[in-house]
Structure 1
């Protein structure tokens, strides 16, 4: 990191920002409660649809977010079904 970027800050890529936000949300949920399903999942799903729709037209029902807890392990699974025209 250069001295100039330290004082002026660096522009982060949207993927890095999204990853940081998701890590913050997960850390918050881990420390705050022990319920079965986190209450942020519907909002997370809506935001993911909005971001992906900027690049590829998808049906909101084609994106599924699933959260599972087993003992000390927490898994957040995101399944996105892309239309045939979007696949390379």
Structure 2
């Protein structure tokens, strides 16, 4: 039984290292998610544009990650005359 152990200072380097690793992992996940959503938005726009005319500013793609399930929400505003895409002559 060492009574002096209770009064000694514990090194903070391991705790700081662990906090930094958690922070970096969180940043990597956040950056990757943003990049994925951007890629998905571009690909969705390309597919829809093949079939109808839409405004790129009217497309919204959001991803929400949960513990068990991730949700991808795509909101596309389609005007009434969107199906009348001009054909090349």
- The bucket for the TM-score relative to the shorter chain is 0.5 to 0.7
Which runs of no fewer than 5 residues in structure 2 stay unpaired?
A: 1-24, 84-89
Check if 1:56 corresponds to 2:52: yes
Query: Computing the radius of gyration over CA atoms, which structure comes out larger, 1 or 2?
Result: 2
Check if 1:76 corresponds to 2:50: no
The within-5 A match list for 1:26-41 is 35-36=29-30, 38=33, 39-41=35-37
Q: Structure 1 length normalisation: TM-score?
A: 0.52
Per-residue CA deviation, residues 36-79 of structure 1 (Å, 9 max, x unaligned), is: 46121111111111111111100111111100012212101111
Whether the 8 Å contact between 2:54 and 2:82 is mirrored in structure 1 is no
Q: Structure 2 length normalisation: TM-score?
A: 0.52
Q: Secondary structure at the match of 2:53?
A: coil
Taking only aligned residues, the RMSD between alpha carbons, in angstroms, comes to: 2.2
Runs of 4+ in 1 over 3 A off after TM superposition: none
